Structure 1
Amino acid sequence: MLDTQTFDSRDPEFKQPYGAVPSGTPVRLTLRPPRSGGFSEAVLIAYFESRNEERQELAMTWQGMEGDRDRLTVELPTGDYVGLIWYSFRLTGLDGRLEELGPYQLTVYDSSEVVPSWFGQGVTYQIFPDRFRRTRVPDPTGMVGGRSVHTSWYEQPCYRPDANGEVRNRDFFGGDLKGVREKLPYLRGLGVDTIYFCPVFEAPENHRYGTADYEKIDPMLGSEEDFRELCQAAHALGMRIMLDGVFNHQGFVSRYFNGDGFYPEPGASQSKDSPYYPWYNFSHWPDQYDSWWGIYSLPAADESEPSYREYIFGGEQSIIRRWLRAGADGWRLDVADELPDDFVHGIHQAARETSPDAVIIGEVWEDGSNKIAYGVRRKHILGGHCDGLMNYPFRNNLIAYLLGGDAYCFMQAMEQLRENYPPFAFFSAMNFLGTHDTPRILTILGVGSDCRDHDKDWRAAYRMTPEQASLGRRRLKLGSLVLFAFPGSPMIYYGDEAGMEGFEDPFNRAPFPWGREDRELTDWYTALGKARGELAPLREGDLRWLRARGRVLAFLRTKEEQEVLAAVNAGDAPETLELPWPAVDCMTGTALEAGEQTLPPMTGWLLVKQKGR
């Protein structure tokens, strides 16, 4: 009896304003229960979660009839509250029965600060530094970690355990910052606005997520001067640089923990008098300590320790401030939901004080508005913490659609984010199809799964058949079109545009195939980047769905009088679609008339209105 005609939180007829609201905004809520239900009263019940779960009950006022339905309204004040409000409705029948609707989420955020728009509007390119481009074969002698270097750029990364049963990730290919600088024109030609680097600081492993020294560029990548020159060159081409901040843990082999004694200064494992000893929690010094997910080689930092906070963000020479001054434009926070909220806030504040245009993006794998980590509801996107998040819900739902799911499910998942996220976070999301933590998107779309039912040797050796590669390429074209047309920053994982394949780490981290690129895909991505750069609606326009049913997904991006229509048919049969105006496809130059048009199977359009019509 009580349905979306009674209340729909996404319909302005029932809730105004739409979605998340700034603190201090009153929210008007309306119910339209059927008169046949015989309800005598309705009450709004609101739980202010971060205010000790304060509960308010507000009687709704009868406003009259609309056809065969009653209309009741109430205004919910938010005052100075920031956090989630869970609200529901209790209706009482004339016969005394009770019926409830809800609960629904209302996100109330702090809007006192303007979030820089450059990140969400631009195209991002993720680089795994060791595997992008090298200018020389480096000599690892004397470097932390006991490294080896592949002499051939096209060898397979090591994946088997060593004699001790460990996968140590100490095999390097020698990608460097000068190599990235060489390829800046290529990246700019691809339409890239932001280069997001996986960690570049000294570390023993090729992925560099076990930081050894935050103050030093890894010598295999180059020097601090190389980094500064790269930033200057990127800025001169209109590009920005985002660094990966790994602050939840360091490496066992680091100047701070110094588990193998590589560094001359005593670390936490050598001496309790070390200035770094308070940074770690030992249950039995020196061999039992908190570590990230129980991995001994990644001792976890105590983010409540004042000296650690001062080092990372508090002091004038802190790590956050230092590298922004060196030329970086923002930080991506690794495992952001494992950092305390006030620690993230401290990073955010230090970044903005150092560079008012700096952006902080958090790694979160779920809906970041209501994420609970370690028993705490997180404040990721309530203002003053993260400006945007990595959008794994976008990736997961888009892949599900491309592999045969209903477009309606993708739309519903994205609408849930749009409803729950403050606008700044929705439009500053880092959207993607793949990262260094996921199998290559071409492989997933061509093979159809991650093939975990096979052993790792099988996955290491596997290469797609020509039929699988062709299917993966066609699906990737459709997925990337949606990616570049959707609100938020479209992020390319290095080499996806070149047709790289492979399952999970390290097979998704092979060296970039310079000279062996899939030109068809590279040209496609280049055209998408060009469209994103030239069409304002794709960078900052509103979103309106035209169709999301079955195998067809179509939506409009609108800014003032400009409109762009993205349409995808991921099915194997032609579909009809009503076009609102005569259009030209940016990807092919094909002209289409207004009205009903046939969208062929496995085809995507990026349409702009024909000039003068």
Structure 2
Amino acid sequence: MLREAIHHQAGANYAYPVAKDTLLLQVRTAKQDVRRVSVVYGSRYDVDETEVVLEKYASDLLYDYYRAQVKERSKKFRYYFVIDDGRETLWYNELGLYTEPSKGFNGAYFHYPHIGESDLYEVPRWLDGAVVYQVFVDRFCKGSTEQDDADVLAAGVPPEGDLDFYGGDLAGIIQKLDYLKLLGVNVLYLSPIFDADTNHGYDTSNYYRINPRFGSQADFKHLVEQCHKRNMRVILDGVFHSCGYYSPYFQDVVEKGVKSEYWDMFYLYSYPVRRDPPNYDCFAGSWRLPKLRIGNAKVQALMLDIASYWTREFDIDGWRIDTANEVDHKFLREFRNRIKACKKDVYIVGEIWHNSIDFLHGDQLDGVMNYHLATTLFDFFYKRKLSVSEFDGQLTLNRISYPKKAVHAAWNVIESHDTHRILYSTDDNKAVLRLMFAMQMTYPGVPSIYFGTETGLKSGHESQFIRFPMDWDVETWDKTLMAYIKKLISIRKQYRALRSGDIRTVALDDEQEIYVYERFSAVEKAYVIVNRSTAAQTVELSSGDLGCRDPGALREVLHDLCIVPEGDCIRLTVPPTEAAICV
């Protein structure tokens, strides 16, 4: 038995409550190295113990993962694992691995001392069925006739930088809500809408005011009301780690130096303030974005008041926390408490591009933007850097790294305003894009569409930060692509297993480039078959593969492909670079 591969910890993603008296426990072992894993558990203050066999539920390239749920009325757990590979048996507790059971309260067990009332990981129920549409406001649609067009670029004129504007506004978004409703999306995520100098809006100058280019507070309230009327929700972009150079707080520092009441809100190293190069900490090296001391009491009070104001007064439904990994953990905990007190089912999602477990214990963020998934899809379908087995391994690693609720609350992006447009990156490869969408819409988490991709918008630039506007000339749209995405959204909404079910890998074929996974709930199952190959592939699945389900009852719902029952098996031919969904 490869002892070095065995891992568990009494917390994080390896032990966490899923009910007020129930823990989910996870153990890692070397791949194909262990025959059986069980857990012996009981109350910390009782002698009675129960043994439960763990299920091997996932594997990546190196490890197998086992899990079980254990229930204890006292909510106080002690436990150890028994691991058997057919040749030897090991007992595993918090002090290590032993060839015989250990004795003693401290040395013989892992301990999860108590499930507290606030320890359960709770996320908004409306995420089940949510499909996000990201709007970069200035680039989406110009609706107001009152806006001064003197510095607005004409359609067809390419952008060059942060100070180019196309006139998109809140009124334009309102005009297109029925279009979005017809597409099937039901959550609107807006790029920063507060007063700022740039088109992206991350250099906030006044957090309490809507950028006049976009409209007014009344316009925004009307937008939220119109969204709610259509059963759509609204998420704002919260930039709490930095502000704009021209914000009144930083300008007071520029003018008064150490005498400014706001001096200690920033990281300044000398005076007078210098922009080139900056003599103050700024985000991503940009002089326009002075970093805030988010641990400073004044900064925290200000940002919490700002977030509460927009949540309470405008009835928004969520916050996307920009660069959440550069925001203080203490602030995020207080932010969650404050905002959930304003509106219980607000969704709090963070922009974090790397492993985020420290933010996902249920006390800070509900979920994060799943850039790991975006990279994995791109590397597998377009770059072809991963085999099917390696692809499955990356997906598994992404899922096992977090509590289950965090996985289902993850914001599954293919692209965003911080990346190149996917059709630019893939050289307009629509077949690849279709496969990415097929997986995104059938995978655990909340799918997100970046504005315009559904129409086939490709426009791009060598810099991902040069963002082109939406093209509202329907004659230029790829209507076949749009119909495909609409159908995927419709299928996702129709089947609960695809929205909130668990997932397991059914079949891998590196040679044929076939990947099959199952989404399942207590009452429903769905099977997704992905064919990366440039040739049609015939897939055969047995009743064992399908969990003993009657193969003859299955139907394919994405293309109405023919499923041929053969005894206790089915055969299905999947077209080149295409996916199939069987229910």
TM-score where L is the length of structure 1: 0.76
- 1:465-517 Cα deviation digits (max 9, x unpaired): xxxx3xx1111111100000001001001111111112454576211111222
Q: Distance in 2 between matches of 1:154 and 1:607?
A: 43
Aligned with 2:247 (options 244, 254, 270): 254
Q: Are the equivalent residues in 1 in contact too, given 2:370–2:411 (CA < 8 A)? A: yes
2:520: which partner in 1?
Answer: 558
Q: Quote the sequence identity (%).
A: 28
2:133: which partner in 1?
Answer: 125
2:442: which partner in 1?
Answer: 485
Aligned with 1:514 (options 472, 487, 492): 472
Aligned with 2:327 (options 326, 329, 339): 339
1:180: which partner in 2?
Answer: 173
C-alpha change, 1:19 and 1:254, in structure 2 (3 Å) is: farther
- Is 2:70 the counterpart of 1:77? no
Q: Are the equivalent residues in 1 in contact too, given 2:529–2:580 (CA < 8 A)? A: yes
Q: Are the equivalent residues in 1 in contact too, given 2:160–2:466 (CA < 8 A)? A: no
1:451: which partner in 2?
Answer: none
Q: Distance in 2 between matches of 1:27 and 1:544?
A: 27
State the aligned residue count.
500
- Is 2:205 the counterpart of 1:212? yes
Give the aligned residue type for 1:158: E
Matching of residues 154-553 of structure 1 within 5 Å = 154-159=156-161, 169-258=162-251, 267-271=252-256, 272-287=258-273, 288-313=279-304, 318-325=305-312, 326-369=314-357, 379-403=358-382, 404=384, 405-446=386-427, 469=428, 472-501=429-458, 502-505=460-463, 509-515=467-473, 516-550=476-510, 551-553=513-515
Aligned with 1:153 (options 149, 152, 155): 155
SS of the aligned residue for 2:204 comes to coil
Q: CA offset at residue 367 of structure 1?
A: 2.2
Give the aligned residue type for 1:130: D
Q: CA offset at residue 129 of structure 1?
A: 0.6
- 1:373-404 Cα deviation digits (max 9, x unpaired): xxxxxx20012100001101101111111022
Which region of structure 1 is more displaced relative to structure 2, 540-549 or 189-198? Answer: 540-549
Which region of structure 1 is more displaced relative to structure 2, 575-584 or 387-396? Answer: 575-584
Give the aligned residue type for 2:302: Y
C-alpha change, 1:578 and 1:603, in structure 2 (3 Å) is: same
Q: Are the equivalent residues in 1 in contact too, given 2:332–2:364 (CA < 8 A)? A: yes
- 1:264-317 Cα deviation digits (max 9, x unpaired): xxx22112454433311221133122212332221000112111111111xxxx
Give the aligned residue type for 1:510: F
Q: Are the equivalent residues in 1 in contact too, given 2:77–2:114 (CA < 8 A)? A: no
Q: Are the equivalent residues in 1 in contact too, given 2:187–2:232 (CA < 8 A)? A: yes
C-alpha change, 1:20 and 1:228, in structure 2 (3 Å) is: farther
Unaligned runs of at least 5 residues, structure 1 = 47-55, 64-73, 83-108, 142-146, 160-168, 259-266, 370-378, 447-468, 609-613
Q: Are the equivalent residues in 1 in contact too, given 2:91–2:100 (CA < 8 A)? A: no
Q: Are the equivalent residues in 1 in contact too, given 2:192–2:201 (CA < 8 A)? A: yes
Give the aligned residue type for 1:236: K
RMSD (Å), alpha carbons = 2.9
SS of the aligned residue for 1:431 comes to strand
TM-score where L is the length of structure 2: 0.79
Which region of structure 1 is more displaced relative to structure 2, 330-339 or 550-559? Answer: 550-559
Q: CA offset at residue 137 of structure 1?
A: 6.7
Which region of structure 1 is more displaced relative to structure 2, 480-489 or 509-518? Answer: 509-518
C-alpha change, 1:563 and 1:339, in structure 2 (3 Å) is: same
Give the aligned residue type for 2:203: G
Q: Distance in 1 between matches of 2:397 and 2:34?
A: 16
Q: Are the equivalent residues in 2 in contact too, given 1:329–1:359 (CA < 8 A)? A: yes
C-alpha change, 1:600 and 1:113, in structure 2 (3 Å) is: closer
SS of the aligned residue for 2:295 comes to coil
C-alpha change, 1:364 and 1:19, in structure 2 (3 Å) is: farther
C-alpha change, 1:504 and 1:587, in structure 2 (3 Å) is: farther
Q: Distance in 1 between matches of 2:119 and 2:281?
A: 37
Q: CA offset at residue 128 of structure 1?
A: 0.6
C-alpha change, 1:27 and 1:428, in structure 2 (3 Å) is: farther
Aligned with 2:530 (options 544, 568, 580): 568
SS of the aligned residue for 2:412 comes to strand
